[in-house]
Amino acid sequence: MEGLREVPANWLSSEGIVKGTDIVCEESALSIAISNDSDILFPLGMTMRTPGMDKELVIGLLYSEGIIDSFEDIKEFQIQINDVLVIIPSIEQKNITDFQRRISSTSSCGICGKDSISNLLHIHGPELSQSITISSSVISSSIDELRNNQYLFQKTGGAHASGLFDIHGNLLFITEDIGRHNAMDKLVGSVLLSKKNVFSDCFILFSGRLSFELVHKARRAGIAVLIAIGAPSSLAIDIALEHGLTLVGFTKNNNMTVYSGRGRISH
């Protein structure tokens, strides 16, 4: 299975040492560059990811960062193992400069508050649905459905998962990656590639904790309800409150904590 690697390992216990091989989640660099269909090349840098669904990963990343507004903006993909070149005829230098500025600022911790984050990211997206309602029982059953389809995690214990569910708890898309942001980007890219307009009528269930970046990606896609098995950060809650997104954490054993948008969750 793609994304897995066998490595030598030793198991130590009170009974002694057992030698063998273990299966781990693969992690390697992906270099991403953009061209405007001429000789001008815009390198975006490298991201560490679990190989597999690289096309979806790049689509989701470019969309989340506002470099593209739809899959139709992309003319061509040129993929060679760990290198991706995306042809976007309408790309402008400003889009690339803004992206590089955001990456540089967040990486260097040059920002620290909600207002700074909002101004830096220029968070926007489709209008969030005010009519969508998810029952707590559907959320609880969705956790089992997500877990049953986390194939990388089942093999390695080392992958995050992001699942898109409809209001009845049907799993529409699921993606996994060693990086939590990559799992979300792969999910968004998968939906955009499918050309199905389903974001506004669905919710996302995430296997780990929620950072502000994941809330930003969900907001950009038009997801009104973002649910996690783990904890949200304070900034994730701030951004969700500011943009009217429903944020739920600590979802387990029919219990959950709603931090914003309580009206979209029915008991």
pLDDT of amino acid 116: 52
pLDDT of residue 41: 82
Sequence spans of domains, the chain: 28-111, 134-266
How do residues 175-230 score in pLDDT, each as one tens digit? Answer: 999 999 999 999 999 999 999 989 999 999 999 999 999 999 999 999 999 999 99
Residues of the chain with pLDDT under 70: 93-123
Entry pTM: 0.90
Spell out where the chain has E strands. Answer: 4-13, 16-25, 28-35, 41-49, 76-80, 83-87, 134-135, 160-166, 171-177, 202-206, 225-228, 246-252, 255-260, 265-266
Contact 166, 172 (CB under 8 A): yes
Q: What is the pLDDT of residue 65?
A: 85
What pLDDT is recorded for position 204?
98
What residues are annotated to the active site? 109
pLDDT at 115: 52
User: What's the pLDDT score for residue 109?
Assistant: 44
* CATH architecture of the region 134-266: 3-Layer(aba) Sandwich (3.40)
Give pLDDT, residue 48. 94
- Single-letter amino acid, residue 19: K
- Decide which of 3.30.360.10, 3.10.20.10, 3.30.413.10, 3.40.640.10 is the CATH code for 28-111: 3.10.20.10
pLDDT for residue 100:
62
DSSP3 helix / strand / coil % (the chain, rounded to 5)? 35, 35, 30
